[in-house]
Amino acid sequence: MAKVIPNFLNRSANSIVSENVRFESSGYVFRALSWLDIAKRENNPVAFQYAAHDARQGIEQLLFEELVLSVGTKLDRAEYQKCLGNSTKLHAIINRLSPEREKLGNFVQAVFSGGGIRIPLMVWDHKLLMKHWGKVSKYLHWSGAIDGTIENGAWVEKGIEIVEEACRYIWDNQTQKETAVMLPDDMHPEIRHLWERYRDDDIGLEEVKISSQLLELAIR
């Protein structure tokens, strides 16, 4: 079934706050892109500020979703409380509890890239997400003469460009690809053995693709 992708263009402020309101990462980014569209169409700096807020919230929510998917039951309540509202701590906890997250993601991506059912999967670049988070945050935490910031057309225009770049990285990948997790404990024994060989650098991704296609026939 094809994805139904909502259109963030030409929405009113009322529709943004009352229609398709969701609080997962894609919902925040959808709202941010909608606010950016108003900011550009109406030369509205307030809409830009709303966009920056929702964009940063979307990045933080995406990192939290990644934490839940990659760590699962290894995350206790104390760890959860530490990372609330702090993307830097959240990023550090993901790296500590799931150090092989990116490598595992690349492996799963390779496994699903061949065979009878080809699924385009997304492996998020957490360093890039944190970089976007830092850049967007600058447009939420500023001070000084307003004629040099929020009332300065060039300042707002640059901010729109930066916020939109962050949003498009998330939105384009969320709408064009799928997020999938295959934890080693849940893998078929043959796939897990293949993962362990890739994890230990005994084989590369091309061999993973070929081997997984052969295993697909054997496992059926």
pLDDT at 190 over 90: no
Report the pLDDT averaged over residues 7-35.
96
Contact 55, 166 (CB under 8 A): yes
Q: Please report which confidence band the pLDDT of residue 66 belongs to, taking 50, 70 and 90 as the band edges.
A: confident
Percent of the chain with pLDDT over 90: 41
Q: Is 176 within a domain? A: yes
Q: Is 4 within a domain? A: no
What average pLDDT does the chain have? 85
pLDDT at 69 over 60: yes
Q: Is 182 within a domain? A: yes
Give me the number of domains the chain comprises: 1
Percent of the chain with pLDDT over 70: 85
Q: Is 7 within a domain? A: no
198-205 contact pairs (CB < 8 A, 24+)? 198/103, 198/107, 199/100, 199/103, 199/104, 199/107, 205/106, 205/107, 205/110
Q: Is 88 within a domain? A: yes
Q: What is the pTM of this model?
A: 0.80
Pick left, alpha or beta for residue 43 (phi over 0 → left; psi -120 to 50 → alpha; otherwise beta).
left
pLDDT at 209 over 70: yes
Contact 172, 30 (CB under 8 A): no
Q: For 90-125, what is each residue's pLDDT tens digit? A: 777 777 766 677 888 888 888 887 655 567 778 888
How is residue 139 annotated by DSSP? Answer: T
The owner of tokens 């108003």 is 38
Query: What pLDDT, on a 0 to 100 scale, did the predictor assign at position 27?
Result: 97
Q: Which domain holds residue 101?
A: 14-219
Contact 62, 129 (CB under 8 A): yes
Q: Is 156 within a domain? A: yes
CA dist 170 and 65 (Å) reads 13
CA dist 209 and 43 (Å) reads 49
Report the pLDDT averaged over residues 112-141.
83
Indicate if the alpha-carbon torsion angle 76, 79, 84, 90 is positive or negative: negative
Amino acid making up residue 29? V
Contacts of 108 (CB under 8 A, 6+ apart): 121, 180, 181, 182
pLDDT at 220 over 60: no
Nearest to 96 by CA among 70, 118, 122, 116: 70
Q: Is 20 within a domain? A: yes
pLDDT at 218 over 60: no
CA atoms within 13 A on the CB side of 36: 26
pLDDT at 151 over 70: yes
Q: Please report which confidence band the pLDDT of residue 179 belongs to, taking 50, 70 and 90 as the band edges.
A: confident
Q: Please report which confidence band the pLDDT of residue 45 belongs to, taking 50, 70 and 90 as the band edges.
A: very high
Lowest-pLDDT choice from 174-178, 185-189, 199-203: 185-189
- Which two three-digit tokens encode residue 131? 């970089």
Q: Is 125 within a domain? A: yes
